[in-house]
Amino acid sequence: MGEVRRCEECGRVLKDDSTEPYCKACDEKLDRQFDAIEDNIIIYKELMDSEIEILKKFEDSDIEDLFKKVYEKLSKEEGGLKQESIAVLNKLKRSFNLKESKLGVEKLAESKGKRKSKQKNNCPECNRRIKQSFSFCPYCGCKLKDDSESKY
């Protein structure tokens, strides 16, 4: 008798002969989450750490396809890629060690360390409202403070 396989998401016993790691219900749920993350990136120009954790459950090819699709849509916006779009694409790229050359897209501009914000409580990269005490922007991952800076 073979080893009992369980869904990696919910722990249910997998009854079919599929090599998929998830049951049908969890697979559908993850697909919906994937679509919602894609929408968040395109509409709100943000990618949260919790969304990155969900994306880690997908195959590399799915992440590469996501990057290319998002890159294409954001590039078509009036005026081309804006700073907030570049920031979210760079976060996705860094999180999954993606290479533009492999994906067939132009190299993205990189953020250079700490930037001064025009408004004290806004991220200099994505311009979202943040707390002054943050070291990194929770929306785009921009580094806001040098490691040596501290309020204490």
Which pLDDT belongs to residue 55?
96
Which pLDDT belongs to residue 58?
95
Residue 11 within any structural domain of the chain: no
Which pLDDT belongs to residue 39?
95
Quote the CA–CA distance of 75 and 90 in Å, as a whole number: 14
Pairs from 70-78 (Cβ < 8 Å, separation ≥ 24): 70/38, 70/41, 70/42, 71/103, 71/105, 73/42, 74/42, 74/45
Which residue(s) pair with 143 in the sheet? 136
Residue found by looking up tokens 């009036």 in the block: 78
Q: What pTM does this model have? A: 0.69
Q: Within this chain, do residues 31 and 96 fall inside the same structural domain, yes or no? A: yes
Domain interval for residue 51: 24-103
* Each residue's pLDDT expressed in tens, for the chain with a length of 152 residues: 568 889 999 999 988 777 889 999 999 999 999 999 999 999 999 999 999 999 999 999 999 999 999 999 999 988 888 899 999 999 999 999 999 889 998 888 875 444 443 446 788 877 788 888 888 888 888 888 765 544 44
Which pLDDT belongs to residue 37?
95
Contact 53, 27 (CB under 8 A): no
Quote the CA–CA distance of 78 and 88 in Å, as a whole number: 17
Q: How many domains does the chain have?
A: 2
Q: Within this chain, do residues 144 and 122 fall inside the same structural domain, yes or no? A: yes
